[in-house]
Amino acid sequence: MFKKITRVVWILSVISLFTDVASEMLYPVMPIYLKSIGFTILIIGILEGLAEATAGLSKGYFGKLSDITGKRLPFVQAGYILSAIAKPMTIFFTQPLWIFFVRTTDRFAKGIRTGARDAILSDEATPETKGTVFGFHRAMDTIGAAIGPSLALVYLYFHPKDYVTLFYIAFIPGLLAIITTLFLKEKKAAIAPSSEKVSFFSFFNYWKQSPAAYRQLLVGLLLFTLFNSSDVFLLLKAKDAGLDDTHVIGIYIFYNMVYAIFAFPVGALADKIGLKRMFLIGLGLFAVVYLGFSVNSNLYIFLGLFFLYGLYASATEGVSKAWITNISDPKDTATAIGTFSALQSICTMLASSLAGVIWFTFGAKTLFVMSGVMVLIVLVYMGRMKEKK
Average pLDDT, the chain: 86
CB 232 within 8 A of CB 359: no
Q: Which of 186-190, 270-274, 312-316, 351-355 has the lowest mean pLDDT?
A: 186-190
Asked if the model's pLDDT at residue 190 lies above 60, the reply is no
pLDDT at 189: 61
Residue closest to 121 by CA, chosen among 378, 308, 263, 326: 326
pLDDT at 179: 95
CATH class belonging to 2-183+210-383: mainly alpha
Asked if the model's pLDDT at residue 8 lies above 80, the reply is yes
Asked if the model's pLDDT at residue 80 lies above 60, the reply is yes
Question: Alpha-carbon distance 225 to 341, whole Å?
Answer: 11
Q: Parse the chain into domains and list their residue ranges.
A: 2-183+210-383
Q: Which of 186-190, 222-226, 331-335, 366-370 has the lowest mean pLDDT?
A: 186-190
Asked if the model's pLDDT at residue 263 lies above 70, the reply is yes
Q: How far is CA 87 from CA 23, 365, 380, in A?
A: 8, 36, 42
pLDDT bracket for residue 361 (50, 70, 90): confident
- pLDDT tens for each residue of 119-149: 999 999 888 899 999 999 999 998 998 898 8
Question: Alpha-carbon distance 341 to 360, whole Å?
Answer: 28
Asked if the model's pLDDT at residue 213 lies above 80, the reply is yes
One DSSP character per residue, 197-255 reads ---TTGGGGHHHHS-HHHHHHHHHHHHHHHT---THHHHHHHHHTT--HHHHHHHHHHH
pLDDT at 195: 60
Asked if the model's pLDDT at residue 117 lies above 70, the reply is yes
Asked if the model's pLDDT at residue 387 lies above 70, the reply is no
pLDDT bracket for residue 28 (50, 70, 90): low
- pLDDT tens for each residue of 139-176: 999 899 889 888 888 888 888 878 888 889 989 999 99
Give backbone dihedrals phi and psi of 96, rounded to 5 degrees, phi first: -55, -40
Residue closest to 63 by CA, chosen among 325, 252, 282: 325
CB 139 within 8 A of CB 260: yes
Question: Alpha-carbon distance 130 to 141, whole Å?
Answer: 16
Question: Alpha-carbon distance 256 to 27, whole Å?
Answer: 13
